[in-house]
Amino acid sequence: MQKSYVRGTWQQKRAFSPCVITQGAGRTIYVAGHTGQVDDAGKSLAGDFDAQFHQTFRNIEKTLAEAGAKLSDMVTMTMFLIDARYTTRMTELRSALFGTDFPASAAITVQGFAQPEMMIEVQGIAVAD
Amino acid sequence: MQKSYVRGTWQQKRAFSPCVITQGAGRTIYVAGHTGQVDDAGKSLAGDFDAQFHQTFRNIEKTLAEAGAKLSDMVTMTMFLIDARYTTRMTELRSALFGTDFPASAAITVQGFAQPEMMIEVQGIAVAD
Amino acid sequence: MQKSYVRGTWQQKRAFSPCVITQGAGRTIYVAGHTGQVDDAGKSLAGDFDAQFHQTFRNIEKTLAEAGAKLSDMVTMTMFLIDARYTTRMTELRSALFGTDFPASAAITVQGFAQPEMMIEVQGIAVAD
């Protein structure tokens, strides 16, 4: 499987790629919407956006690990946020998380999620050998 | 084409899989957002969430049938809902619909849809031989 | 790579396909959420839905061109809109843009985007040889 990035210009500062291209035999991993309103010990993370962001991606990483894949295999994500004012902070956290090879992504502010404590939900696709 | 599921734990009660993995030669079917605000006879289903849920998936099944595929071929879905309070009911209906092999899914509450009667819209991807 | 369309009936007037089917060796291009709140010269398009629609797709076309693909390679899109009342106008503009071979699509009204001027964001997938 081959993967390449169209990296854009300003998009790198927002920690996403305008597009990611895959080709050839690989596994496509359809990743459900993940959230992070409680930590691994079951403690509520209500009201703490940074903590929910990190927990959400820890949860995604666990799911990907069960599929034999890792976070850097993500090729596209939709980041659903509870408030548009978290968008810039989200991109800062995402930059630290992904480093240089960013998935394609959209950042959408929505009305709500399954539970009122949720502040972020991330759905996407990973492609791995 | 091979398909496998990461089934998770509590996720099975919410009728979705944390991720679904596909590999090998198959057809990928990109399914548009489907809704169910009118029944097959054209009668309005405004205000009836259960009915719109069932009609939405009947419509998806018709589309998949035209592609030579079936509902169990769905690998991921985004369930857009008009009110977060329908989320749990949606998962109950989805459990009855899919049985044991659940697609990946996100449940997102949104501001609205193309028409004011719509209470649910489902977009996704199916993979079939 | 082979591509085929389930074209539906009334869906053609709304400028989308109920589903699009791809099969065989091709490149899958995961396209990030694109917006169009400023034109190519950096001038604000705040408040002008038609202009933002056109700019959004010009931006998508630029991204696809960098991937060696074109707009007609899009197989699915999620159109996030700031107001449900733009939905019909969006389908009119989309009809003129795509002609006859429409991607699958969902039209979802959302709370907001990264910046308050944004009226539309489009995320999707293209498949090309």
> Any residues with CB less than 8 A from the CB of B99 and at least 6 apart, and which?
none
Cα(B76)–Cα(C113) distance, integer angstroms: 24
For residues A108, A46, A37, B35, the Cα torsion angle rounded to the nearest 10 degrees is -40
User: Tell me, what's the ipTM?
Assistant: 0.98
> HSE on the CB side for A101, CA within 13 Å?
12
Q: Which residues of C, range 16-75, sit inside 8 Å of B by Cβ?
A: 16-24, 75
- Structural tokens at position C115: 């910046």
CB contacts, 8 Å: A23 with chain C: 25-28
CB contacts, 8 Å: B23 with chain C: none
Q: Which of B6, B23, B109 sits opposite A63 (nearest CB)?
A: B6
Note down pLDDT in tens along chain B; length 129 residues: 999 999 999 999 999 999 999 999 999 999 999 999 999 999 999 999 999 999 999 999 999 999 999 999 999 999 999 999 999 999 999 999 999 999 999 999 999 999 999 999 999 999 999
**Cβ proximity of A17 and A104 under 8 Å:** yes
Shortest distance between the Cα of C88 and any Cα of chain B, in A, equals: 8
SS3 A62: helix
> HSE on the CB side for C66, CA within 13 Å?
18
Q: Please tell me if residue B87 touches chain A, with a CB cutoff of 8 Å.
A: yes
Comparing alpha-carbon positions, the chain A residue that sits nearest to B82 is: A111
Comparing alpha-carbon positions, the chain A residue that sits nearest to B125 is: A30
> A touches which chains (3+ CB pairs under 8 A)?
B, C
Q: What angle do CA B74, B3, B52 make, to 5 degrees?
A: 15
